[in-house]
Each structure stands twice: as C-alpha cells, then as structure tokens.
Amino acid sequence: MAIFNRKHIAKILQGTKSQTRRTHKHTWQIGKVYGIYERWYSKPQAHIKIIRKFKQKLGDISLEDVKKEGYNSLEEFRRIWEEIHGEGSWDPNKTVIAYEFKLVSCKPATPGRKSHPLGFRTGSAKRSTKRK
C-alpha cells in the first residue's frame, strides 16, 4: 500500500511523477507492485512498480530528481515537502529513502466522473442520495 495525496496521484496518472521520497522505516521492495491510495481503507487509484530504491540526503536532490517528483524547481519541491511534513521539516542533512517507480495499471474512469484522456480516474463522483 502506498499513500499519496490527491495532487500526487494526479501527477502519477498524468505521467509527470515517477519518484517519491519517504521518511518512514517500512520500506518498499524493488520489483514489487503496490496499490496507490489517497487514504487508508479506500480503493487503489492505480498500481505502481518500484524499479529503483536508494538513500539520499534531502540536500543532495538534483533538478532531474525534482522533475521526477513532478515539480519544476527545488524551491517548489521544498515548499510542498514542508506542506506535507510540517513547517521547518526541510533539513538538507536528513536522509530519506527515494523510490523510482513506473505506473503499471490504472482504475478505469467511472461513468459520471471527469475522465483523463487515457481513461484514468481524475475526480470524485457525485453520489446519488436516492435509495434503491
């Protein structure tokens, strides 16, 4: 199971995000396929396969890595890092685990939802309040 926020799931589905950095102790394994989820106990939005894993200090992230994270600049990536992990969490000496992955499957679009040009789910559906 891989939890990503909604914006990052969209970037993965659009093909603009193929790396993530994690601070948790539980590590993912190279070659294994993981469902990506917006929150615990939800259905997977897609599946990714881990193709590379390495340790890296936050301060050693290259512009190429930042682009694989789905961002255009280190400043933008750093700002988002602090939004996710808390103000002041950016520490150039902090070692994180970087994962590179590829998208291997997506949930098909559901009728009534906004759809991605390739058929990926993108928005949330409005649910009917009528009982059947």
pLDDT < 50 stretches in the chain: 109-132
**Cα–Cα distances in Å, from 47 out to 22, 44, 57, 80, 94?**
18, 7, 27, 23, 28
For the chain, what are the domain ranges? 2-106
- pLDDT for res 108: 58
- pLDDT for res 25: 81
> Across all residues in the chain, what is the average pLDDT?
85
Q: Is the dihedral of CA 16, 107, 80, 94 positive or negative?
A: negative
Main-chain phi, psi angles of 56, to 5 degrees:
-160, 145
- pLDDT for res 19: 97
Asked if 103 and 2 touch (Cβ cutoff 8 Å), the reply is no
What is the architecture of the domain spanning 2-106?
Roll (3.10)
List the one residue out of 1, 72, 66 whose CA is nearest residue 33. 1
